[in-house]
Structure 1
Amino acid sequence: MSFASRTKKELTLIEESDCCQRTELEALITANGRLKTIGGRPVLDIETENVAIARRIYTLIKAALTVHPEVVVRKKMRLKKNNVYAIRLSTHPLELLQQLGWNRLPSPGAVEQSVPVLDKRRKRCCQRAYLRGVFLAGGSVNDPGSNSYHLEISASTKALGEILIKMTDAYELHAKLIQRKRGYVLYLKEGEKIVDFMSIIGAHQALLKFEDVRILKGMRNQVNRLVNCETANLNKTIGAAVRQLEVIRFIDEHMGIQNLPNHLREVAELRQKYPEVNLQELTARLGNKVSKSGLNHRFRKLEQIAEQLGK
């Protein structure tokens, strides 16, 4: 089971108050509801490929509308040929929509909410329930172990997308909305914002899993950066030491390091004695009587002497 599927399964087990049950059902119908005409009679289908979400819709309808919907199962004919579960309301579906807040009856096709989804009267808990419903209906989230963080929610219309933006902005998530072939998509790409969204909709177990992986990835990246930095510094130290030893060897062969000025002979002999240490450690070997930059200046003097000797 994917991380997104586990997250949705957790959300379907949340127990809600009556107002939040109706709000979540409203969101599921708005996102996935389709009004059809079968045998000359209107029928409302709420479709999903997730059996846990289908069970959730069935339970919400029974609780909020006190009716017993039908469950219709069909198999997709393309791609993975998954089952599609349709929770069907065939008895007075238009009246039931009015009970949920639709103040004008929709025409056959996708069900669009004519009552503003975000209004001043809506409780904070119901706003969370609405976001939970639209995520169950058309949301997905990448596994936190993947290369990038990504959470998105599909919106059939631009109006619904803009409403979702307003609702998420209330929590300072700053989600983005883009248009795709089959509608609009609200998305988040920052790990912290995705964690905040999962907290808002009540996916606490998924949130902890996401945070665990995110923290582990952060620590691993930090360790890798430190190792790379240390490796680069080590390579730099070794490269400088090798060049200095070559210069000292050349000078010794052509004039003898014993003929160098005392301060240059001292650092030449010290480098020969300690070929693997960096400049900071060499200054310590000299009793810190010369600074790191002063020591580096002496090695440059040795390079100049080697150049004069024909190196």
Structure 2
Amino acid sequence: MLQLRFIKGGFSLLRVKRITIFSAAVQSTHNVDYKPIKKVMVANRGEIAIRVFRACTELGIRTVAVYSEQDTGQMHRQKADEAYLIGKGLPPVQAYLHIPDIIKVAKENEVDAIHPGYGFLSERADFAQACVDAGVRFIGPPPEVVRKMGDKLEARAIAIEAGVPVVPGSSAPITSLTEAQEFADAYDYPIMFKAAYGGGGRGMRVVRDYEELEENYQRAYSEALSAFGNGALFVERFIERPRHIEVQILGDKYGNVIHLYERDCSIQRRHQKVVEIAPAAQLDQQLRDRLTSDAVKLAKRVGYENAGTVEFLIDKHGK
């Protein structure tokens, strides 16, 4: 069963020894030339920014860092060829979410492409679109793909259309406790509330019986609203002690998609992965083939470009 989450920013994962690279993430409707990328900005901080800078340096590409007022002394600023302050007067997290400042720095300093890293703006379709509108390449999927896969309910619908099995869940955001109870009556407890427009383990609450329903509904709503600016929730059947298997994919702008096999990410703490093991041990070959095939099928269905990950949950029955 499928739990959808695409990870953008695949450039840092590809260590191909070439002097020039091209981004496939620019939509032709904006008529942006596919010129060689000579300068890359990373709209992020810390370890992920440093990894991208290292890869760019190996490829002969100049690097640009952005930093908040609180991160003046951080290592990622020192590792880049250029560094610029963003989000003046804002808290550190909000600074890295301030799209106008990031685009302004990119345009003023002749940045060819922006890598979002992970977290922050990496799953924001409006940021990908802002890059395209500014004539700067977004290193990741096209904005429309980011939008579709960032909306968990639309992503579920696309998976169903593609013939990929999904965990039983609501087809639209739930608007009341009554709707949640009706779902529990149909599928039995436990159930799980999930943020409709976010991820990363936030806005998620397990409900094991009716007495927990209202409290966990309110907590999930509040957390989703705080983290993503939208408290919309949907509900799924909760899978007890599943295996969490991920399939790495690569897609290009011509509709070609390949997979790079799977990894087991079942060891987690608070919905965050602790260890990733590849290849996944004791995974039936037929199941492995189904997972990789479904991952490619889904990526093709949505028109995915760049590097990404499709995450699957496998129950104790191997489904």
TM-score by length of 1: 0.27
RCO higher in structure (CA 8 A, sep ≥6) = 2
TM-score by length of 2: 0.27
**Greater radius of gyration (CA):** 1
The structure whose residues are more often helix, as a share, is: 1
The structure whose residues are more often strand, as a share, is: 2
